Each structure stands twice: as C-alpha cells, then as structure tokens.
Structure 1
C-alpha cells in the first residue's frame, strides 16, 4: 500500500470511529469519544465576516496581563497540541490552515497537508460538514483571496497521532478553521490584488486571535499559515503574526507555539528570527 492509500484508509477509519463513538487504543483500551464529539458538533460556530468585524472593534485587548511565552518548534500541529496538553494546558486551540471550499481539504482522497493531517486524526470533519455559510460562500466567491468566514470548533476529540496510531487516552482541543489567501493563484489570475494580500492576511490573523480570545483560550498553536501550496512567503507571514500579536494582543495569551513541520528550513527560519531573538 502506498502512502496515499494508507492515508486514505486512516481517513476512513477515523470516520468509522466517529460513527461508532469510540475506538480501541494501541494498548487495547476502549476510549469513548461520543459525548466529546457531540459537544464539539453542538458548539461549533461559524463566524461571519461581519461578526468577526465586531470583535475587531474591541481591539486592542487589554483584559489580561500574561507574560506571553512564544516558541517555534519543528513539529506537526497536533504533536504540539498533545505536548501542551501533556504539560497541563487545558484550553489549547490550534489554527487549521483550511481549504476554503472542501471540508477536511483532500483528506478523504489521501492528500497530505496540515488540514488533512488534522482531519485524519480528529473529529473535526464531522463538525465542519454540519456548518452553513463558510463553504457555500467561498465556493461562490470568484476570488482566491477567499472570505473572512471562519469556523470555531471546541472540544474536538483527538483520536490518532501523526503515524495513525490510536491514542491511549481521551484528548481534545479547540480548532479554528480559516483559509489563508491563495497568493499563488491571485498572482496568476488577479495580479492587481496582490497589493491587498498583506492587509487581508493581517486582518485574518487579528480575527483568528480575537475568536480565540473571545472564547477564553490562553494557549495557541499557530504556524506558517498559507505558506505551502498557497505560496505566501514565510518571511511575510512571520512578520504579520509578530506585528498583530505585539500590537493588538500584547499580554493576552499565556503561551503561543508556532508549530512548523518541514524539512525545508525556509519555512521555520523566518519565525525563529521573529520570535526567538
């Protein structure tokens, strides 16, 4: 079986687990996730661009006074999430670098990118497909700038590790599903809008952080958002994150991890330069 077929099989396994409401761990233990998954789906919320615009009117946030610890790690998003949970953080939220048009991206077909990895390993997909607004609007939207629609899903059960092994204990995190600008396509089809990319990406970063803050999350896993197939420059995205965090969200989070999983240093190096001085 090739890698794509194996990933496809894992995706199907995960959907079967969600259907049953439980799985058998590597050590042979039955882990029930039915109540968690029900909660995740029940409390999943779509933020329209107008709703998140309202959140931005409250910036800068000054309600907390944390000494924010920011680190950059070469690991997958969910590996970072599980590490933080193991350290005792109970409110971990991660950003899903999402497809604007397809729930779970291409995970059912065995594709491999950050969203597919999350969808294959958690209950996120079943939360996404029960929403209205995000996918329909982006599919109708002609521009690959996409829209500011975002999906907030709390209590999402984490089922598998990055290798596809079922976890030995119940774990969950919150996930924000949000699309970056597809800069590669914009450059090709809408070159006149390239000048807008910075403004749009900074606004979306603000909205992601505002949704996290509004829902009382103090521990975040972020990353090189839109720097893969969407071709945003990691140098730019790292700067945008730093500018937004230090201006509008100073002292508002306890811990932020930029999890950047790649053998190519061009993705992680700019974030280390911005955040690990």
Structure 2
C-alpha cells in the first residue's frame, strides 16, 4: 500500500543547504540591488561603510589626573614631524612673559575672588549619559534581528514602554563576522549569524572585498543598513517586510578568536589561557570603541565566538562584563604612564541576543547571576524536544571529514601538528553535542519552515541545484588554514 498523503519530513541536510543557498543568491543578486536602486538612504549607507583598524579610546578618564590638567598639557605641546613633542611658543607665553610680576599677582587675586563669589554650597555634578551602574543590560533568547526590532519598536512588545523619539540613532548590532570573506558562507547555505543577517538586510554590499582579511583589532562600520525581512525563513513570503515595516540598523562587523587552545585537564572545565583571554577582551574593546566613536546608544551583542569557533561561554561572558564595566588599558609605548579606564558613557542599553536557551543561561550565570534570561517573542520551550536533526552537528562532521582529508596531504610537520590539535577540538565539540543535544546557539534558521520537505523535491530539481556555479566556498582552503595557523603561532611566540 502506498501513502495517501505526501511526506512532510525534512529533506536531507545537503539538499536543505542547497535550497538555502539558492534562496540567498536570489536575495543577494536581485532583491538587494533593487532596494539599493530605489532607496537612496540604503545606497548611501552601503557606500559609507569604513574599515576601522586599531581604534583608539574615545572616552577615557585618566586615573589620578584631572581632565583640565590633561587638556592644558595637550594644549601646551605640539607634535612636529621628526622633532617629537615641542612646547608651543605663542601669544600666551609672550603675554605671560611681558606681564609685570605685580600685575600677575593682582590678576590671580581677582580670579580667586571671582571663584569664591561663584562658589555654590550644593554644586551640581556634570550629568553623564550612562555609567556601568545605570546602564540597562538584558539577555534574551532570540536572534539578532528580533532583538534589534524589540529595541527599535519597544511598544510592539510592551505597551507600557515609552515610544523612542523619531530622531533617535539607529540600533547597532555586532555582526560576528568571518575574518576571511564577506558574508561568510551565505552563498552556500550556511546558517550562522552573519549569513542570517546578510540574507535579510543590506549588510553584505557594505562588506567591501578590499577590507579583508579583517584586522585582529577593529572592524567594519556599516551605517544605515535596511532590514527588509524578519527572522523567519527566506522561503516564507510572510516574512518580507513592507515599506512601512522596514527599519534601519547600524552594524560593526568583526571577527573573533578562532579555535583557541583551551587549558584544563580531562575532568576540568576547559578555559581560555591568559593570553587568549586578554586578546578576546582587546577585540571587544575595539568593537565598543567604534560604537562609542559613532555615538551608539543601544546595541545588540551576543555570545561572540561561542559556536563553531570553540570559545568557552564562561570566558566570553566574563570578558564582556569586564570590558563593559570599564576595563583598564595600559600604555602601548612602554613608558610608565597612568592607565586609563573606558566607561562607554554613550551606551544606554545593551542586549545580548542568544538564540539557544541553554547557552543563554550559562552566559547569564557567568556574566551576572542577578540578570534573568528573558524569553524572546517566538521562544517556545517545546522546541527543545523537537526531533529535527542538528544542523550544526552536520556542519561539524563535514568540517572534520574535510580536515582529515587535508591533513593527509600536508607535509609540513609543524602545520600538521597544529591542524591535528584543531581536528581534535572539533571532534570534542561534536562528541559533546551528541551527548547533550545542544545546538550551541549558532544555527538561527529553522529548516523545517523553509517550505521544503523530502517529498517536495524531484530528482530534476536536485540536479539543477548541483549545476549552479558557486563562486564562494564555505569551507576554508588548506592555504587559508595554514595562514591562520601561522599567524596564531607567531602570536604565541611573541
């Protein structure tokens, strides 16, 4: 007996990935260019993107030194080419030298009387935009775009909340980007956060090819990115936003530490080493400096690097807390100068969007136990019992198989040893996922809702998908892996 109804089961992972790739190509090659041609603000935003390398502190307070003293010192010296810092001899110095000592004493007494006359018993301190103690921090089990929508339209989710002013700045998001290529594997059907964003916004055209490889510290600033599709699957026409539903965001695209060497015994919790922790904090500082420079007030961050890159959640959460709370930065010149504290006074609200509930809870425990994890608008606890195949586990298996093939072709013993360490790390991640069933918070798109089931595809459709020429390869070549390992080895030897 045959089936009376067609099967509603999921297609194999490879076919689902090909379908996502085709949908993404349709959006990138047709939808986004049409939007840029018809909406001048979106086009201008794409053209205004910039690469910011090693951003310097914008808002900092020297420990043990008043702002006025620093400004006076900076005003009294100028840096000249080939001559270092030289004292300015201007009108002020000439005027001071020409004044009689008695007249200078009289002037000081007059200034002192004026200061006493203006002295108030209840001085009002200068208001700060925000501080670590007043800043609002939330952890929500949702995706980046939904979190940005919640901040842009708060009254849609909480009627009692106040409506933001019309001229308020855009919500800024952190694009946890691939450091090697624009959009990562968006054209090959990958489902991590960057691919998720590039298929639903105008972010990808702002990631100029010449900006890559991304710097170790810094990133790409992309203003006025148009969101034209919600967090739903690309195959669902209901997810397309109309002209009145679209909204704007800003983005900082930066890459996180990849495949770090974790410390700890077999029965111990794996943690980052001291150098890697400092490096992660420096990356976070660089991102926040870009946002501070651009006047960002509300930002959507995430568990940066806690997915396929293998960074422990506890280390990433503690690093975010340290940097947001005001981390001291030492001098790079080697001189014994006062350390500085960056407090990010512009930041009023920070939302950590983590789609996986278990990872969100672990993140909250490490970041601040007082912060409760909020359920997102579409968060459903029954989803954890869903029997869908783990897409991230499939990607890990694919990477393991390909790296094993590449490992057999490598002749350099040092490179082979390093790749072996990475391979063991990937296998450990896969074993842990198979034991716990945890998705790792990387996959953001529901394949089941793509509208494609196993019985909905014909062999001809599958063949057509395979015939398409894909310019981007989601998996790194051996040369790129060797380059990354060489850079990491140089850092460790310093």
Deviations 1:171-209 (A, max 9, x none): 11001000000034x56xxxxx95421111111111111
User: Is the deviation greater in 12-21 or in 83-92?
Assistant: 83-92
**CA-CA distance at 1:244 after TM superposition:** 0.8
Change in 2 beyond 3 A, CA 1:267/1:83:
closer
Match of 1:179 among 255, 262, 265: 255
User: Is the deviation greater in 252-261 or in 163-172?
Assistant: 163-172
* Alignment correspondent of 2:217: 148
Change in 2 beyond 3 A, CA 1:252/1:216:
closer
- Give ranges in structure 1 of 5+ residues lacking alignment: 23-31, 139-145, 188-192
The answer on 1:10 being equivalent to 2:89 is no
**CA-CA distance at 1:210 after TM superposition:** 1.1
Counterparts of 1:71-90 in structure 2, within 5 Å, are 71-87=138-154, 88=164, 90=169
**CA-CA distance at 1:271 after TM superposition:** 2.6
Match of 1:225 among 304, 313, 318: 304
- Give ranges in structure 2 of 5+ residues lacking alignment: 1-10, 63-125, 155-163, 263-271, 327-341, 371-494
Separation (CA, whole Å) in 1 of partners of 2:362 and 2:275: 25
Separation (CA, whole Å) in 2 of partners of 1:200 and 1:113: 23
Q: Secondary structure at the match of 2:306?
A: coil
Q: Secondary structure at the match of 1:198?
A: helix
* Alignment correspondent of 1:190: none
Separation (CA, whole Å) in 1 of partners of 2:324 and 2:287: 11
TM-score by length of 1: 0.81
* Alignment correspondent of 1:255: 349
Change in 2 beyond 3 A, CA 1:122/1:167:
same
Q: Secondary structure at the match of 2:210?
A: coil
Relative contact order higher in (CA < 8 Å, ≥ 6 apart): 1
Change in 2 beyond 3 A, CA 1:194/1:272:
closer
Change in 2 beyond 3 A, CA 1:104/1:236:
same
Counterparts of 1:1-277 in structure 2, within 5 Å, are 2-15=15-28, 16-21=30-35, 34-49=39-54, 52=55, 55-56=56-57, 58-60=59-61, 64-66=128-130, 67-87=134-154, 88=164, 90-128=169-207, 130=208, 132-133=210-211, 135-136=212-213, 138=214, 147-163=216-232, 164=234, 165-168=239-242, 169-184=245-260, 194-247=273-326, 248-249=342-343, 251-263=345-357, 265-275=358-368, 277=370
Number of residues of Structure 1 aligned to a counterpart in Structure 2: 248
Separation (CA, whole Å) in 2 of partners of 1:120 and 1:151: 18
TM-score by length of 2: 0.47
**CA-CA distance at 1:104 after TM superposition:** 0.6
RMSD over aligned CA atoms reads 2.6
Change in 2 beyond 3 A, CA 1:63/1:213:
farther
Change in 2 beyond 3 A, CA 1:83/1:9:
farther
**CA-CA distance at 1:19 after TM superposition:** 1.4
Higher normalized strand content (fraction of residues): 1
Separation (CA, whole Å) in 2 of partners of 1:221 and 1:272: 19
Whether the 8 Å contact between 1:72 and 1:276 is mirrored in structure 2 is: no
Whether the 8 Å contact between 1:121 and 1:158 is mirrored in structure 2 is: yes
